[in-house]
């Protein structure tokens, strides 16, 4: 902020996506609201996921269409011609968000310096703050909000800071879907990329074992409306000797959040629904092979996850994990297959469901 002793009239947050990152930004947003309770805080977010924050009361959620062409950027510039974003804070470093930051009129523009600036992000800011290296994504966002606010004291991020409120109608919908059993284990099989997705055969074997070892629990499959997600869910379902509930492609984001709130456990690779379950205080077992758990894992539940990043770094990159950039994703389609079904079952056993 140009003068961190001045209370801003308006703060505009720029973080368009993705689901996990949006949820991990909540503690920073709530910190800003505590520091500036009288300030109007708007959050610009990609329209398809804006509804996820509809019950968050600390900010005004402004759904926008993420620019995808030069014409889209021209329309954005025209749309904001007579507006003012006030104090603009960009919590996103993609080329799209950087170009948006350049086009949005604001009194002052704040963003990341080293080591988290990407795509020339710091060049589009008035203030680019350097932050400590090797922070979790939640802590990166939180640290930038502290810098903007002029705060130097050590602050703890609480479970309440991370929590996502859920509407009653979505809770009722989830209750209806899950009314056949009292205990549920959810599995969200697909991640945003194939590199992060566990093999279908592993899911089939896992569910068969869960049916044997945890017969009091019913399995529900969750996921989005992507055709590949739906096909994966149908394939897994077709290979099972005992049926499971398949909700892949059948929920809105808010209904998915409510469903994950009501299950006892979610098993998932590194993907949005994993963070969604974490945000509604559900136990998770995350599967991490190509992304660094300590950077992008479910905050406060890292100990519940399976982490073979160091092993895959050595095998596929021929380097130790410490030699790789903090945010490096290992480009291997084989890495996730190194996580065994028995490892997942051992982790579940340790949770003492």
Q: What predicted TM-score, i.e. pTM, was given to this entire model?
A: 0.96
Determine the pLDDT at residue 2.
42
Per residue in 267-290, pLDDT tens?
999 999 999 999 999 999 999 999
| Structural domains present in the chain | 10-162 (3.40.50.2000), 168-351 (3.40.50.2000)
If you average pLDDT over residues 142-166, what whole number do you get?
96
Residue with tokens 């065994």: 340
Q: Which strands, in side-by-side order, build the sheet including 218-221?
A: 245-246, 218-221, 184-187, 265-269, 283-288, 306-307
Determine the pLDDT at residue 130.
98
C-alpha 338/C-alpha 343 separation (Å) is: 10
If you average pLDDT over residues 70-95, what whole number do you get?
95
For the record, the structure tokens of 6 come out as: 């001045």
Per residue in 85-141, pLDDT tens?
999 999 999 999 999 999 999 999 999 999 999 999 999 999 999 999 999 999 999
Q: What is the DSSP code string of 18-33?
A: -HHHHHHTHHHHHHHH
What is the helix (H) or strand (E) element at residue 70, kind and residue range?
A: helix 70-79
Q: Which 8-state DSSP code applies to residue 63?
A: E
Instruction: Return the SS3 of 97.
Output: helix
């Amino acid at each position: 902020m140009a003068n961190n002793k001045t209370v801003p009239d308006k703060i505009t947050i720029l973080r368009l996506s993705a689901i996990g990152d949006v949820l991990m930004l909540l503690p920073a947003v709530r910190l800003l609201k505590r520091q500036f309770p009288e300030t109007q805080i708007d959050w610009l977010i990609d329209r398809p996921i804006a509804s996820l924050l509809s019950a968050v009361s600390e900010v005004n959620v402004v759904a926008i269409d993420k620019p995808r062409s030069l014409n889209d950027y021209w329309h954005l510039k025209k749309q904001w011609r007579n507006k003012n974003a006030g104090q603009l804070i960009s919590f996103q470093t993609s080329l799209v968000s950087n170009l948006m930051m350049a086009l949005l009129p604001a009194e002052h523009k704040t963003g990341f310096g080293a080591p988290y600036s990407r795509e020339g992000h710091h060049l589009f800011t008035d203030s680019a703050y350097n932050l400590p290296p090797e922070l979790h994504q939640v802590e990166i966002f939180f640290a930038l909000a502290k810098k903007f606010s002029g705060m130097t004291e050590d602050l703890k991020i609480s479970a309440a800071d991370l929590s996502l409120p859920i509407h009653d109608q979505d809770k009722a919908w989830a209750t209806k879907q899950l009314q056949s059993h009292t205990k549920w284990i959810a599995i969200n099989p697909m991640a945003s990329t194939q590199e992060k997705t566990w093999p279908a055969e592993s899911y089939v074997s896992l569910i068969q074992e869960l049916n044997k070892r945890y017969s009091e629990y019913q399995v529900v499959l969750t996921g989005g409306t992507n055709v590949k997600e739906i096909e994966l869910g149908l394939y897994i379902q077709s290979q099972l000797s005992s049926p499971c509930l398949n909700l892949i492609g059948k929920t809105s984001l808010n209904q998915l959040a409510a469903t994950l709130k009501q299950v006892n456990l979610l098993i998932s690779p590194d993907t949005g629904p994993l963070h969604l379950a974490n945000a509604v205080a559900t136990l998770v077992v995350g599967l991490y092979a190509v992304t660094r758990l300590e950077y992008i894992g479910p905050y406060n539940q890292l100990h519940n996850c399976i982490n073979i990043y160091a092993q895959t770094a050595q095998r596929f990159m021929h380097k130790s994990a410490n030699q790789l950039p903090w945010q490096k994703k290992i480009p291997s389609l084989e890495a996730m297959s190194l996580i065994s079904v028995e490892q997942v079952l051992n982790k579940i056993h340790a949770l003492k469901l």
